[in-house]
């Protein structure tokens, strides 16, 4: 592996204040504590987690953010910096199937926990030639991951010129800068497999036919490398990180809303809280959404306009009805495909024939609901707030429409079995501090990818560092955990 020298913050780094106890802020705090820094974390909520939060209603517990956990080795790496083992803090279950895809023709296809298992499933549903195509795709996606990881993902960039090197030539030769949709189509012939191995581009905020093929690495993580679920829900991850951080000397203060980063010329001197406290700092690390940080804490404009990912509506449902034909993660594809992306991304309209993610966590962990009941996390991609949709007026009606669609797709009797229902719309994401009302941050367009994505050193400031999905390397639990390592290295230098 090549070693890259990167810029670090200027001046003393003994006292670090981190704003936000999300996954990125907490993982960064652990790494800095391991490096001997005095770390204070300020979190406005009464619990850790940020976007990976928890909604509790009676005996029902819902994850409010991500439902998919890949690359648990990044958690291992974080905890190992302070001599801890993941098994002492988290109980992870590898999901099998990772996903179950439900198609309009009534067929289903499972993405299994092993490559051989998925190939056998594809052979059953689509035929042996398509299964062979999957094996070729798995090799290709694994190769893209190996090319990209050290040189383009797991490293800090100071300039786009840092991209130059042998691995850039390899990435170009592998077709990484072509479009993902056509690349997937070069492997698969069945429209069902084309969908299941390309829908992940929406995580990056881009339609498959416009996303770069280098984002096949997301498909690799989701469909080849494996998916895990922590008992207690994804929220158990930040809870564990917070406990580890506290054990190793990090001062986490909940219920503290930061209102300003105090600047003196090019240096941050302290942060101020809503209750009048001033906490001095040698370095300030900011975990909230990047555009909101600039607007509300640094009180300065972003140096560039960003284009944001589509958003989503999430419906948290507690119900007495259970369904034996579903898995933990279920993707229900509508008949339409390309049209749906044009509607939500280009036209700013709701999908007329939606593809919907339904997560059923109680299929794996029954403790998340009362005896005999189940939890469902229903997610539908929708335009972000730049589309001008009035969610206060249409939100509940749209939720009703989603439930009717699910009833038509096999969830018979769900609506009448609901005992708990909570709706989250783009307006709610905005109130929670997410720019454009999307939890998926800036879209991973070419101009917002790699070193072209906003960096983690604040321009013009000597000692302000960003962490989280708004900065490099990007969106998703693995990338956010990785952003913590990259942010910490801006303070301590490369400890690897």
DSSP string, 50-71: TTS-EEEETTEEEESS---B--
Q: How far apart are CA 354 and CA 338, in angstroms?
A: 11
Q: Please give the pLDDT value at position 152.
A: 85
- Cite the DSSP H helix spans in 313-425: 338-341, 391-408, 414-417
Helix axis angle, 23-34 to 73-80, nearest 10°: 40
Q: Please give the pLDDT value at position 336.
A: 87
CA-nearest of 22, 115, 34, 2 to 64 is 22
Give the CATH number of domain 309-440. 3.30.519
Residue with tokens 């204040």: 17
C-alpha to C-alpha distances, 423 to 40, 251, 349, 439, nearest whole angstrom: 33, 34, 19, 15
Q: Please give the pLDDT value at position 1.
A: 44
416: which residues sit within 8 A by CB, 6+ positions away?
A: none
Q: How far apart are CA 491 and CA 169, in angstroms?
A: 31
Per residue of the chain (496 residues), what is the pLDDT tens digit? 445 568 999 999 999 999 999 999 999 999 999 999 999 999 999 999 999 999 999 999 999 999 999 999 999 999 999 999 999 999 999 999 999 999 999 999 999 999 999 999 999 999 999 999 999 999 999 999 999 988 888 999 887 777 777 788 898 898 888 999 999 999 999 999 999 999 988 888 898 988 999 989 988 999 999 999 999 999 999 999 999 999 999 999 999 999 999 999 999 999 999 999 999 999 999 999 999 999 999 999 998 899 999 999 999 999 999 999 999 999 999 998 889 889 999 999 999 999 999 999 999 999 999 999 999 999 999 999 999 999 999 999 999 999 999 999 999 999 999 999 999 999 999 999 999 999 999 999 989 988 889 999 999 999 999 999 999 999 999 999 999 999 999 999 876 6
CB 229, CB 99: distance < 8 Å = no
CATH of 15-52+67-90+231-307+441-492, one of 1.10.10.10, 3.40.950.10, 3.50.50.60, 2.40.10.10: 3.50.50.60
Three-class DSSP category at 80: helix
C-alpha to C-alpha distances, 86 to 79, 83, 151, 290, nearest whole angstrom: 7, 10, 27, 29
Question: DSSP label at 214?
Answer: G
Domain spans of the chain, in order of start: 15-52+67-90+231-307+441-492, 115-225, 309-440
pTM: 0.95
CA-nearest of 177, 142, 166 to 450 is 177
CA-nearest of 146, 131, 244, 143 to 188 is 131
Segment holding 124, helix H or strand E: helix 115-126
> Is it true that the peptide bond before 188 is cis, omega within 30 degrees of 0?
no
Give 428-493 as a DSSP string. Answer: HHHHTT-GGG-TT-B---GGGSGGGSPPSBPTT-SSEEE-STTSSS-SSHHHHHHHHHHHHHHHH-
Backbone angles phi, psi at 193, to 5 degrees: -70, -35
CA-nearest of 247, 239, 251, 237 to 41 is 251
C-alpha to C-alpha distances, 287 to 54, 428, 493, nearest whole angstrom: 18, 19, 19
């Amino acid at each position: 592996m090549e070693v890259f020298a990167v810029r670090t913050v200027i001046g003393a780094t003994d006292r670090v204040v981190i704003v936000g106890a999300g996954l990125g802020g907490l993982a960064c705090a652990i790494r800095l504590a391991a490096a001997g820094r005095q770390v204070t974390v300020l979190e406005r909520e009464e619990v850790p987690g940020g976007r990976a939060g928890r909604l509790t209603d009676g005996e029902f517990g819902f994850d409010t953010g991500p439902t998919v956990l890949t690359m648990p080795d990044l958690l291992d790496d974080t905890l190992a910096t302070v001599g801890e083992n993941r098994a002492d803090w988290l109980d992870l279950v590898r999901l099998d199937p990772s996903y179950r895809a439900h198609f309009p023709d009534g067929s289903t296809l499972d993405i299994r926990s092993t490559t051989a298992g998925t190939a056998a499933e594809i052979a059953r549903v689509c035929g042996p030639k398509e299964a062979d195509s999957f094996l070729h795709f798995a090799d290709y996606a694994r190769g893209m991951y190996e090319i990209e990881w050290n040189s383009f993902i797991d490293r800090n960039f100071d300039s786009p010129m840092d991209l130059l090197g042998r691995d850039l030539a390899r990435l170009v030769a592998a077709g990484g800068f072509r479009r993902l949709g056509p690349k997937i189509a070069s492997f698969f012939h069945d429209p069902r497999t084309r969908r299941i191995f390309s829908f992940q581009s929406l995580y990056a905020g881009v339609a498959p036919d416009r996303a770069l093929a280098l984002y096949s690495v997301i498909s690799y993580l989701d469909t080849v490398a494996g998916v895990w679920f922590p008992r207690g829900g994804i929220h158990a991850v930040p809870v564990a990180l917070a406990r580890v951080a506290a054990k190793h000397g990090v001062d986490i203060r909940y219920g503290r809303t930061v209102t300003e980063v105090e600047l003196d010329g090019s240096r941050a001197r302290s942060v101020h809280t809503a209750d009048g406290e001033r906490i001095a700092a040698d370095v300030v690390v900011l975990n909230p959404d990047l555009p909101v940080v600039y607007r509300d804490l640094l009180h300065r404009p972003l140096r560039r306009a960003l284009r944001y990912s589509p958003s989503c509506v999430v419906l948290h449902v507690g119900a007495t009805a259970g369904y034996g034909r579903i898995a933990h993660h279920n993707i229900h594809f509508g008949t339409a495909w390309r049209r749906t992306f044009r509607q939500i991304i280009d036209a700013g309209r709701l999908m007329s024939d939606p593809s919907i993610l339904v997560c059923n966590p109680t299929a794996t962990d029954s403790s998340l609901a009362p005896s005999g009941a189940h939890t469902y996390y229903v997610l539908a991609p929708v335009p972000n707030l730049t589309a001008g949709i009035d969610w206060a007026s249409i939100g509940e009606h749209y939720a009703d429409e989603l439930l009717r669609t699910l009833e038509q797709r096999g969830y018979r009797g769900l609506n009448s079995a609901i005992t708990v229902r909570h709706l989250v719309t783009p307006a709610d994401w905005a109130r929670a501090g997410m720019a454009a009302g999307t939890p998926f941050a800036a879209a991973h367009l070419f101009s917002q990818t790699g070193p072209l994505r906003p960096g983690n050193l604040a321009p013009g400031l000597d000692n302000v560092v960003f962490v989280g999905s708004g900065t490099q390397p990007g969106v998703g639990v693995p990338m956010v955990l990785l952003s913590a390592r990259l942010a910490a290295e801006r303070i301590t230098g490369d400890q690897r």
